[in-house]
Structure 1
């Protein structure tokens, strides 16, 4: 009877050993990320606060929205209308992209392959989101268009909000109903901002080629579904495509590149400017010390330029001696 249970016992031992390794990996990664978070938490908090400001702005423009005839749109003519019953398809696809990206950003806590620090990655993502959302706020407040969504059309009780009874009614955003049934925040699409920023981030820091191709196919599908469900005009999607890509390119050129963890030779934590300056000074001192030792060994007491000149002179003298010796 004992030998029959041996495979079960061995599998339990292996599972216990692997689970302990996983727990150690999670603890070590958490310790490293918390150190980075202690240095970058103010920037991350500012990015999260701006998400609330963006929602507050979208809530405010709903009070100014006036329902009217739907504008002529090329996308509405070529794409069949999904209708109220199937309008959820675009939201479901967006939820899949959103949740998959969040889970992927935390995979360094459990996987051996680690190419980035989660805190630094989210810092870049929030920077791109903030810039895009700031541009979006200025745009949809500049020109308030009649919304094409079903609850934004004439005759719908949600198309125009009554004046708020208190300031708290605006500040609380009526979440999540107020976010889902918003009107007036059209140019450009917020769903496309998140989708494109997430996919561009995975394109740069992800490792699976198949997932990258699949992600871009999902972005195209998301664009078509947004127009087919009449959540946005086609111009909202088109403007998002080139604006978000330009913003991501701009942010990548301005922010310092994250350290690549896949090589295994990088430092555990990125140095701050003060620590980086001290390390540079120490390296310079070490280099100067090596040069001084080299001068003493060669009997040279001058500077590096003098040492190089003597080397060149000695080289010419050696060639002359060899030429005379060989009878040239």
Structure 2
């Protein structure tokens, strides 16, 4: 089978397509034939610069290694002790630095769940990582509820698009920041109001917010404290919350980490099958080396609206 591997970090040319043996499952493992995978920030950043300095030792990859997190596919083989899956099941889930591969070997205990076989596996390949981060920031840590006012920064990206939909499914009033070109898209996602961060100052347009979800940088986070009502919350996924500032203002701040339990993933799939959550696919790329390189270049160019998905042959 074909698999992308790294022997060093750097530009897109460090990615190499190699031939490796098809994995064989141990007693408690499954093998999944990959249908689609999402292109995500960790893929691009780790490929370019290596593991994050703050990454826990137990998950920090060492060279040589592959890339990728979220995936969709079909179970093709199971170990003798596996009871949660059957051959032929359609599944989605997470396998850190391991999905740029035609087949994926997973423990039965991995964060993977079955999905109805009538669902298109292509968009589902880009669901997990974005929705896990959005779920953590909006629902688990953010505790978005019906009737609340929620401000989401970076609402048009892969994570932001999920955060808007999750906040709306919880019954919140959603204010979304992005570019003017992204305004219609953010409204399609369910945003009640949109703010063009390039020409408008959200601190002059928004106040008494119950929750701010920061999916952008530290400056936006620093400016956000002042718009949150006392007793409100702020979550951030890529800039560390100033706990002294939140304490001074009487608000709760959390640095949200994108993980989900199997049960939470099942809840998300329920929302997806009900049409309350969608994966907007920006562009698809075949699982071929030059196309994967282009996917990384396109992702790095910024202005991402929706997900970039790498698609495998049937």
> TM-score under structure 2 normalisation?
0.25
Which protein has greater RCO, CA pairs closer than 8 Å, 6+ apart? 1
The structure with the greater share of residues assigned to strand is: 2
User: In terms of Rg, which structure is larger?
Assistant: 1
> TM-score under structure 1 normalisation?
0.24
